[in-house]
Amino acid sequence: MTLTLAIHSSKGGTGKTSIAVNLAVAFAASGKNTCLIDLDLRGPSLCSMFKPRSHFWINDFLSGKCSIKDTLTDIRDEVGTKAHLYLSFSNPEIGEIRDLVSKDRDWQAGALKALMNGKKELAERGLDVIIFDTSPGVEYESINAVAASDMVIIVHNDTSACTSCTEQLITGVYSLLDKKCAIIDNMYHGNCLDLIDKERYGVPILATIPCMCEIATRSKEEVLVHTDPDHMFSKSIVSIKDKIEIM
């Protein structure tokens, strides 16, 4: 069965994309055919890390202009993973991002339907894991990604604003949509060894990853799980993958 994860957060900049990309590489390295889809249509990131070779963007698929397979770029050979690692890129053109504002409910409803069909097609093509990288908060596209997922991975940091919004998302969105959830505490500033929390708001905490300046200062194209598997961040990601697999 194909597992679909939405990597989401209440606030921006919590580390969703870093975690989504590294998790996708970790799954593919462990032999799972994986597809990472950039559904952060308002702030595309994947195209600044990898070069698309496909002729279409995920935006085209959501608008009904192509099939999901037309949007895929396989980076297995580049990254050297055991299984396929497909990427589906969001269009970074400013005009495309601006046009999102004018997309109405009908477009968003069509996009959700497309996403559900795309998920089915990817499952039929033998994908084991699909990961949606999302926009923060409750934009339509993020809620569509959550709705189309089997499980939401909430990337959280310990600012009070993030904490209160995360609680609202859990009770007001994920629970209403009946989604399985788990939290990753990222950019933690305290001493991880002191931590005893295993859950928050009734949701399991998969990992607490410290704030490490060198993560932010390393090259944007670098995927630590691939280039530096002994790094603490990479080890956390692999342990998160292992935990997700048995949830």
Ligand X SMILES: Nc1ncnc2c1ncn2[C@@H]1O[C@H](COP(=O)(O)OP(=O)(O)OP(=O)(O)O)[C@@H](O)[C@H]1O
Q: Which residues bind ligand X (CB under 6 A)?
A: 9, 12-18, 40, 43, 136, 186-187, 209, 211-212, 215-216
Q: Does 22 bind Mg ion (CB under 5 A)?
A: no
Judged by beta carbon, residue 43 or residue 92, the one nearer ligand X is: 43
Q: Are strands 85-88 and 129-133 parallel, antiparallel or unpaired?
A: unpaired
The CB-of-179 to ligand X minimum distance in angstroms stands at: 19
The CB-of-45 to ligand X minimum distance in angstroms stands at: 6
Whole-angstrom distance, CA of residue 185 vs CA of residue 232: 14
Residue 9: which of Mg ion, ligand X, none does it interact with, CB under 5 to 8 A by kind? ligand X
Give the footprint of Mg ion on residues 35-64 (CB under 5 A): 45
Whole-angstrom distance, CA of residue 37 vs CA of residue 43: 13
The CB-of-7 to ligand X minimum distance in angstroms stands at: 8
R_g of the chain computed on alpha carbons? 17
Identify whether the C-beta of residue 56 lies closer than 8 Å to the C-beta of residue 65.
Answer: yes
Identify whether the C-beta of residue 145 lies closer than 8 Å to the C-beta of residue 116.
Answer: no
The CB-of-44 to ligand X minimum distance in angstroms stands at: 9
Q: Does 9 bind Mg ion (CB under 5 A)?
A: no
Judged by beta carbon, residue 88 or residue 186, the one nearer ligand X is: 186
DSSP class of residue 173 equals I
Whole-angstrom distance, CA of residue 22 vs CA of residue 3: 16
